Amino acid sequence: MNTISLKLPKALNAKLAVTAKRRGASKSAIVREAIEDYFARNGTAPSLSVAELAKELIGCVDGGPPDLSYNKKHMKGFGK
């Protein structure tokens, strides 16, 4: 296996270290996996759904009515 060297900003290095520790893998293994994934997608961004992009936001609001999407009383005055 060949060796390369790269410079990472502190924030990215911290994310890499946390991910490696959480997964019980080395930072090198995480970087290799990310590079393989990048080339498997032909250098394109991953296709994510809206739910995947907003996963940190889903369910983060407390106290609102649970039925806004289908209860007509909450829609009075909208769309007219």
Every domain of the chain and the residues it spans: 10-59
Encoded tokens for 22: 């959480």
30 SS3 class: helix
pTM of the model: 0.55
Angstrom distance (rounded) from CA 55 to CA 48: 11
d(CA 2, CA 35): 14
Convert the pLDDT of each residue in 7-42 to its tens digit.
Answer: 999 999 999 999 999 999 999 999 999 999 889 888
pLDDT band at 47 (very low <50, low <70, confident <90, very high): confident
